[in-house]
Structure 1
Amino acid sequence: MTKQVLLILNKAPVPRGAVGPVNARTPDVAVVYATPAGEVAVFDPGKRDRWTNRVFSHYRLRYEVDLGDHRHTVELRSSPLPARGGIYHFTTFIDVGFRVVDPGAIVSRDVDDGLVVVYNHLIDLCRPITREFDIEDAAGAEDAINARFRHGETLEEGIYLYRCRARLSADTNACTYLQSQEEAKRDNIVKFERHKVDTEDAKRRNQIDLIKQSGALEAQARERDAMGNRPLDVRELIAIHLERYPKDTQTALQLLSDLERARWDRQDMQDQKSREMFEFLASRNLIHAVDLGRFRDQVMTQLQNPSPVLPPASGQSLPPLPGASGWDDPLPALGSANARSVPMPSVVDGPTMPQPPVVEPHRLPDVVPVYVVIDQSIAVEGCVVELNAGVNSLYDALIAEPVVASVIRLSLFGYADNVVVQLALATVRDGTERVHLSAHGQSHYAAAFERLLDCIPRDIEQLKTQQPNVRRPQVLFLSGAQPADDTRWSPIYQRLVDRGQHRYAPDIVACGVGAANAETIARIATRRELAFVADDGHLARSVERYFAFVVRQVISYGRSVLDGRPGPLVTAPDGFRPARDLV
């Protein structure tokens, strides 16, 4: 602040011995006399200063003090007003008006520059005011300062402050910070909207992929039906391959060559076994001279009529290779009572080789009950939308693949203080009523395990009246919190999974998100490699990844059932780690 407002216009000693009147003064100037002891006397402006005041008085100094109005606007640069926290400051302009009302105080205090006095006073009063406001609220701080000085006030230096109007704004550093903050907010909004578009695009692509996959499976099913579900011989398989891939003749010839080599290896093995058998019988004197002619005739017939490369045109299929499964036969169900064995034709009389089972062609496929058990406690309140979206994605995946859905029986539980069966065990198809999950209460594991212990035996017995081939139940268990009944659930769980007491004890795949503890999740899974815990602390994203895993697992299990294979290998959901690595 370089401006000055000098309030003492003149200072001079009082002359003695001078006779005559003193020049008249203007109304905006006051005369102040001072004694050697520091006493002052003020003469009203406009009156004449008589010569007797100088000759006969004890005054020694005479002052002329400015009584006029002064208006100035100054920026507070050297002492900026701080915002709350003291990190940022307000850029401040103050329009101030003041005048001297006590010239004696001005002289007594030797006030030279009135502007300095006024602005120091304003800074002292304004700083506590602005500290109450954030840098974003410059308008609020400005209003508070103007309200404080609305009625004017008199300073102890004899100056009356009749006007004070402040204009505040954020300084350069604060403006940069606020601009960065606003840009970040806008960028987040744009990214959020873009994420929604990308998510919808991904869902649409997934639906199209599911439709294509379902169409391919249906086409394969129709092809199997058209062929009568009969076993195919080598000639028919190669013909089908060449029909689909007419330019792949080289592969077909390679297959024929490999087949021929395998047949000759098999023939050599049979000859070796026949020779060993003959030598064994001969060494034990179990072959007599009368038997030699029959053995000779069989060997000569074999040498004169070697096995052809391809089966005869009648369509008789080749016998399977020793020790291998019938690769052109329907796969057997594990432990099925409907499987039968057929003997292998042999070149010479002797012991027959053990043969793989062949499944009856019209055996119904197995079905597998799947129970999806979901935590609905208040711990998952922040991801209810993702929970419902995940359940709907499972419905959509099964509806898009009706062949897979036909061997899956799905049940959906939600547990918190109690258990709600959202979907009783059923086949999911178009028109199946959708569920709506909501968060409430605390997480009680015992309630979930009690309901499973009650429902599974009843469901399986009922299911077996409709379909005799039922696989072991599968439970996909999701937890978002530590159980509120930590001391109660374990005995009930043990009864549920004890296969010695519970005939239909399920396999349980356990996954934990949010506050779920890795050690607890590891205790719930029926095998340690079936327990997984989310790495990501973002609850909603973890739930989305979990349901992607559920969809993949259920669909893969259905396809395994259709193919006659055991259940698929369980791999960790994306963004999850095996719980055993954390315990």
Structure 2
Amino acid sequence: MRVSKQLSWGQRSKYVRRYEVDMGDHHRTAKLQSTPLPSADQAHCFEATIDVSFRVTDPEEIVRRNVQDGLSLVYRHLAALFRPVARHFAIEDAAGLETHLNQRCGGAMKLDEGVTIFRCNVSIAPDAAAAGHVRERTKLQRELELGQQRFDVEQAAQQHRLLLDAENQRARLAREATEQSALAGTPMDLQGLLNRHLQTHPGDTTYVMDMLLKVKEAEGRQRQLYDERSVDLFRFLTDRGIIQPADVEVLRGQALGRIGLTGPTAQQPPAIPPGPAPDGVPTITSLPAPTSAPPGPGGPVRPSADSTAWDEPLPPPELDRARPAAPGAAEIPPVTGDSVASTADPEPPAQAAPNSVIPVYVVLDESAAGADFLGELNDGLEELRTVLAAEPAVAASVRLSVIGFAEDARLCGARDRLRARSSASYSAAFEELLSRVPRDVDELKGEGQRVHRPLVFFVVGSGPQGGEPWADVYRRLVDRATQRYAPNIVAAGLGGAEPELISRIATSPDIAFTTLPGVTPRTGAQRFAAFLTASVLGFGRMVLSGSPSLAMETPPGFQRTNTSMTFLGKGTLP
């Protein structure tokens, strides 16, 4: 609308002012930028493009309301109409909002200002930020769908493979069952196993024959080594007067039985079942021999000559030389030089005692210094338990206890494994033995058992904690003048354990061992574990045979702190 100042002469007599109003059709396209349409989350907005057509239908109202710009009037009206509606739509639903607005604007809209909108077409799109968000989410959704489809394909393929594997396994088990049924009569010894292998792998004949030849050669070497050791031991015992002429007939019968001949005494059972010793495993030989004197941290603590009398406390050390030997027992000389000699005829072998038992304690260092070789000791303990389980009679004659110690001492069960802890407390280990050994022996005696003197294998990889007062509890453990059940202690040092320390712990220098130069702690642990298994098995067999006196050799890879051979005399409680 515009105001015209020029009136005709006829109009001037009636009107003062003339108004001209454009009543034609107007078509405009514009974006609602100054008043954007908010989405439902109030964080994003829709971009609206409006294509609108309108005309003036009430010019008097236009003049009355002084409307100068009809387009701005139309845009304000449409923005006020669209904004409340847009708040009900998510930013992703631009199409839904567009459809809804176009439906609202489908008919003519007559405004109070005298303008009628007869056509309105709205285009809705999310703003730039919302558009990027929608694109990213759409992309991720598509990737998720593709991933799910790929997973479904792979899962189906995996199920197919599992079905094929199961079918193949059933077929393999059926074939193996048929083979087992066909080979049911084949013995399970070495020869039988090789025959089975050749039946299924005939092309390995040359390899199997070569293996058999090597096995025979190894058996021959083992027999030769065993015979050489037996001869050396026989000479040693003969030179020292331990074997007397009366014993030769028994040994002759055993030797004839070994080579398949018979004689007057060939069928008598030996103290230890004869057989080749495994290569690298020490031999434990039955000997009715005396007991050596154990040294303590503060000086020697000598046992009584009557090592079999456990009913009463042993006499003080100074009475050793004055006390007469028990009837039938060997006189025990003091330990001097590099050997132990007997000055009397040996005691005749005792009869087998099925209810005899020897307590054996394996005390192992669990301090941080032993972390490198604890795995080998764990394997050795498992092997020892397996060997004892395979020989129930021997296991019944050995009461085995495993004690691990670091800052404290603990009794290890069959399922327990050694584990590296803090520094080593020797006092804790000896306190545990001092508490446990008398209690165990009393319990065994209460069961009616004939109990042999306990034996301790003490294996360490380092010295005690600095300044630790362990000597007093050690003396109370091994002093036979005050401790009726004082054990024999075999000490072995691995790694950083000093030879002087090992000699002080062992109840005789001849059963104190340290690794040879160049032998690593892990190798030493492996070899001592094999020695431990053979020793415990030999002790058990000795108890069964009724002749528990043993000669202990040096473990492979070790050296004695004192080079003489040690005899651990028997001592039982009738």
TM-score, normalised by the number of residues in structure 2: 0.38
TM-score, normalised by the number of residues in structure 1: 0.37
Which structure has the higher relative contact order (CA within 8 Å, separation 6+)?
A: 2
